[in-house]
Amino acid sequence: MINIAVLGYGVVGSGVVEVIGHNHEEVSRKAGEEVRVRYILDLRDFPGDPYEDRIIHDFNTILNDPEIAIVCEVMGGTGAAYQFTRQLLEAGKSVCTSNKELVAKHGAEFLELAAARHCNYMFEASVGGGIPIIRSVNTALTAEKIESVTAILNGTTNYILTRMAGEGADYGQALKQAQELGYAERNPEADVEGYDACRKLAILSSLIKGKNVDAGQIYTEGITGITGADFEYARMEGLVIKQLAIGKMEEDGSVLAMVAPFLLSEEHPLAAVNDVFNAVLVTGNMLGDVIFYGRGAGKLPTASAVVADVIDCAKHRGKNVICIWDREAAKAADVTDTKRRFFLRAKADTRKAVEETFAGGKSITLPGVENEFGFFTRELEEKDFDAKCKSMGDAVLNRIRLL
């Protein structure tokens, strides 16, 4: 019998219990022994819940139980979750988590600790929800020199952008739906301002680089500035708007990492990734492109990834599975040095100035719209683009990068 504990009985925690219950035979057969949830730690009581008898409030019960070798940390945050994870790993208990904030911040530290204590710290569910991207980077793609990842890593924002593009739903309405579906973070600012995708990109880039990519150094922009008008211009040009997370391993050893809304061709494989789905396009030097696609948020897909880690930990009891992510900081490349095209919307009476300032670009107008126009620049360095925008005062209403 493999007894496990679950820290946090929220959306993902209840999903973990449900996956183990629903797929009990499957999970136990693959783990090699019956898997049973012995404890569920939460501050709350759950009267009437089928697992009511497993709810406990004292973490030490789990820490001091020698029969608990695997713990799922699905409580989120970096406070108690950090302390608990450290204590568990120090005690030689493996930890499986969906807590991307904690993994992004302390992944290298916990991996080091797990290796020293011959146990494991696994975090498949922390990036891309149910998509098996972490394990793929660590195993199936391990012979590759990964050159870049271009990804949709936040289900909530992808859901919002899909609703806005398709039904013309307004931003607030779409966010509310995403929250009701259990996709959004407790504080949805983490989703819509890009912080959640930034943390996931930090994890992915760190694993690819093998060094620590600090989330705080990743250029991050949210989707709150995107309006219905942006979608109309995009549609006219055969483009879609997606919130992308891009990690590029540069020749000089630095990592170029950014999260921002991008315009991309309708033909691009990521353009067809809609609703809560996430996708990660990985480019390897031998393999070329490979895409991972699936549900990036939601109770059961995320929980399924946590339980997969539980099975992996069960199969490797007493043995650390190597995962290379050193504490050493990866060098961050400067986004403002990169070159790309930009789309901007500007006030109609500034058209001449915009066309002169961004010579070589193309203006477009929306039928029936007279107070503004759209403009696609030629390829420019980010810092050059920013300086030109600044030089025109408040003429520019919004701008979006082109992939």
8 A C-beta contact, residue 4 and residue 310:
yes
Integer Cα distance of 324 and 101 in angstroms: 19
**Taking the complex as a whole, how short is the minimal distance between the CB of residue 168 and ligand HSE, in angstroms?**
22
Tell me which H or E stretch contains 400: strand 396-402
Q: Which is nearer to ligand HSE, 94 or 156 (CB)?
A: 156
Q: In whole angstroms, how far apart are CA 23 and each of 19, 27, 229, 306, 307?
A: 6, 6, 46, 13, 10
Work out how close the CB of 131 gets to ligand HSE at its nearest, in angstroms, rounded to a whole number: 11
The residue (of 172 and 318) whose beta carbon lies closer to ligand HSE is 172
Q: Is 326 exposed, middle or buried (0-12, 13-18, 19+ CB in 10 A)?
A: middle
189 token code pair: 């600012």
Q: In the bound complex, what is the minimum distance in angstroms from residue 298's beta carbon to ligand HSE?
A: 8
Q: What is the C-alpha to C-alpha distance for residues 85 and 70, in angstroms, rounded to an integer?
A: 11
Which residues, other chains included, contact 178 with Cβ-Cβ below 8 Å and sequence gap of 6+? 155, 156, 159, 160, 184, 188, 191, 276
Instruction: List the catalytic residues.
Output: 200
Min CB(98)–ligand HSE separation in Å? 7
Among residues 155 and 361, whose Cβ is nearest to ligand HSE? 155
Comparison of 203 and 396: residue with beta carbon closer to ligand HSE: 203
Tokens matching residue 303? 């929980």
Task: Name the DSSP class of 139.
Answer: I
Q: How far is the CB of 124 from ligand HSE (least distance, A)?
A: 12
Let me know the angle formed at the C-alpha of 94 by 92 and 100, rounded to the nearest 5 degrees.
130
Residue closer to ligand HSE by CB (options 55, 75) is 75
For residues 25 and 20, what is the distance between their CA atoms, to the nearest angstrom?
Answer: 9
Q: Tell me how far, at minimum, the Cβ of 200 lies from ligand HSE, in Å.
A: 7
Do the Cβ atoms of 150 and 270 come closer than 8 Å?
yes
Cβ closest to ligand HSE, residue 280 vs residue 346: 280
Nearest to ligand HSE of 94, 302 (CB atom): 302
Give the whole-angstrom CA distance, residue 222 versus residue 225: 7
CB of 321 to ligand HSE, least distance (A): 23
CA 331 – CA 10 distance, rounded (Å): 37
Quick check: 149 and 282 in contact, CB under 8 A? yes
Contact 296, 133 (CB under 8 A): no
- CA pseudo-torsion sign 369, 373, 376, 381: negative
Strand 277-284 vs strand 255-265: parallel, antiparallel, or unpaired? unpaired
Which residues form the interface with ligand HSE (CB under 6 A)? 129, 154-156, 183-185, 191, 196, 296-297
- Using CB positions, name the residue nearest to ligand HSE: 156
Closest by Cα among 83, 81, 90, 91 to 10:
81
CB 119, min distance to ligand HSE, A: 24
